[in-house]
Amino acid sequence: MSDDNPHSANGSSGKSWAAKLLQIFTGEPKSREELVDLIQDAEERDLIDNDTKEMIEGVLDVAELKVRDIMIPRSQMVTIDVHQSVEEFLPIVIESQHSRYPVVTDNKDQVEGILLAKDLLSYGFNATDEGFSLDKVMRPAVIVPESKRVDVLLKDFRSNRYHMAIVVDEYGGVSGLVTIEDILEEIVGEIEDETDINENDDKQNIRRLSPTRYSVKALTTIEDFNEYFKSEFSDEEHDTVGGLIAHGFGHLPQAGEEITLGNFTFRITNADKRRIQQLQVSIQEVESSENAE
């Protein structure tokens, strides 16, 4: 008996996809690998675009991550000492341009609270800090263990309306911090705001932080890097600084890892599973006057 449905011949693949889609909502596919294959199949059939596919895969990845996997390490935390005056900590706020800062006592293991940069606006700080006290403006610090699941933490961030948590190890020592933005970037990729360096603006790929310390985009060409720092790194095998550094490590490094090449120490400040994104470059003091621009 012939099928009078005009879509029967060409609709089998559609029915097949519908059946596969139904599996998702009925507890199948049976494994994560099958689900990833299903998502890949959806992209190949133009049912979803590549950005959507990567976002879905990001959600799947987040479900398997622990806070320790995405946290900003203790060594990279920008903190404010509770005993510092406005004149002492305000330059830190201006230079780093973060929105939240852990307030510590003596060392980073004693976190007293969180300072929101926006809470400083009402004070003005023209020439005096009279009447100002960090105790008056800092918020309570949220503490989470390294082993906490990232997807659970995201729910906590949303339901309790906080954006930063201090991460502690099994002994109660501070091992880093994590923000809601760190989690979202695992899903949608790097989130840039108006203070971030534009990757397409070569002149802004290198930003001076201090006389011997610089922030450098990993996509900066080795030619531009050499021109800026008067260095002589070869660009025969690699075009970008990120490629040069990855080759030096012998693997794709994670945030916090360091390597020294010549007179430069490169610290990875931002990287995902596919590439290095941002570096902090330090020049040895003895050479800084010759190499820095």
pLDDT in tens, 157-181: 999 988 999 999 988 899 999 999 8
Residue 283 corresponds to which amino acid? I
Q: Give the pLDDT score at 202.
A: 46
Check whether 18 has a pLDDT greater than 60. no
Query: How many whole angstroms separate alpha carbon 217 and alpha carbon 205?
Result: 5
Q: Give the pLDDT score at 30.
A: 66
Domains of the chain: 11-65 (no CATH), 68-188 (3.10.580.10), 202-291 (3.30.465.10)
Lowest pLDDT segment from 16-20, 178-182, 207-211: 16-20
Strands in 51-141 per DSSP E: 72-73, 80-81, 100-105, 107-116
Residue predicted with more confidence, 194 or 177: 177
Residues constituting the chain: 293
Q: Mean per-residue pLDDT for 212-237?
A: 90
Q: Mean per-residue pLDDT for 70-99?
A: 85
C-beta of residue 115 within 8 angstroms of C-beta of residue 86: no
Lowest pLDDT segment from 38-52, 190-204, 259-273: 190-204
Q: Mean per-residue pLDDT for 257-265?
A: 92
Check whether 224 has a pLDDT greater than 50. yes
**Cα 148 to chain center, whole Å?**
18
Sheet harboring 107-116: ordered strands across?
A: 80-81, 100-105, 107-116
Q: Mean per-residue pLDDT for 141-169?
A: 92
C-beta of residue 103 within 8 angstroms of C-beta of residue 112: yes
Indicate the DSSP class of residue 74. Answer: G
Of these ranges, 72-76, 119-123, 237-241, the one predicted with the greatest mean pLDDT is: 237-241
Q: Mean per-residue pLDDT for 34-39?
A: 75
Q: Give the pLDDT score at 60.
A: 76
